[in-house]
Amino acid sequence: MKNNKLLLSIFAAVAIIQLAVPLYMAWHWENILQTGQRFYWQTAPVDPYDAFKGRYIDLQFKENTGQFSDIEPLVYGQTAFALIEENAAGKAYITAITGKPPEEHPYIKVKINYIEGSTAHIQLPFKRYYLPENIAAAAESAYRQNASQSGLAAVRIKDGYGVIEELYIGDKTLTEYLRDYIQ
């Protein structure tokens, strides 16, 4: 009986940890979505055969390089920090890449793809946009057609993490655009 009690208490502890993980994840990203700073990222054209994996759009961004400002060299695969600002048109751009997180400036954690002179090519951490199954095909072709001209992703950024809030084509959200597009 004592053994059984112990087993059940261990089970309860495990169950709490199991619940804590998805709850923590949800809280973490919800917090960024609510309180993070919003930036608009211009999307770039994608390989038409690779744009769509399963039921999400594989996003590419025009801003994927930055000058690195540290003396210590960055290497492939390393985690680095991209400093972000808004240009006159209200679009996000990368001002610099550093090896350490800045104290005040908005920034995002990135992975270094490769280095070319003093330019670091990076991979932004937000690159998927999950879609409902029934609008997936329409969204795919709409995104393909417009990604390079008028595609925009609104991303909330906080403490180095970014979460996509909405995907825009022109001034409409993807859902609004698709509603008109399908009609």
- Which CB sits closer to another protein, 48 or 77? 77
Site string for another protein, 77-106 (x = CB under 8 A): x-----------------------------
Alpha-carbon distance of 167 to 151, in angstroms, equals: 8
163, 172, 173, 181: which one binds another protein (CB under 8 A): 163
132, 171, 180, 183: which one binds another protein (CB under 8 A): 132
- Which CB sits closer to another protein, 1 or 88? 1
Residue 55 makes contact with another protein by CB under 8 A: yes
Burial of 131 (0-12, 13-18, 19+ CB in 10 A): buried
65, 125, 138, 160: which one binds another protein (CB under 8 A): 125
Alpha-carbon distance of 20 to 34, in angstroms, equals: 20
Burial 94-105 (b: 16+ CB within 10 A, else e): bebbbbeeeeee
Q: How many residues bind another protein (CB under 8 A)?
A: 35
CA-based nearest residue to 139, from 51, 47, 44: 51
Residue 182 makes contact with another protein by CB under 8 A: no
Alpha-carbon distance of 63 to 152, in angstroms, equals: 12
Alpha-carbon distance of 93 to 60, in angstroms, equals: 14
Alpha-carbon distance of 106 to 162, in angstroms, equals: 11
45, 69, 164, 172: which one binds another protein (CB under 8 A): 164
Residue 7 makes contact with another protein by CB under 8 A: yes
- Which CB sits closer to another protein, 87 or 111? 111
Residues near another protein (CB under 8 A) = 4, 7-8, 10-12, 14-15, 17-19, 21-23, 25-26, 29-30, 33, 55-56, 77, 125-133, 135, 163-164, 175
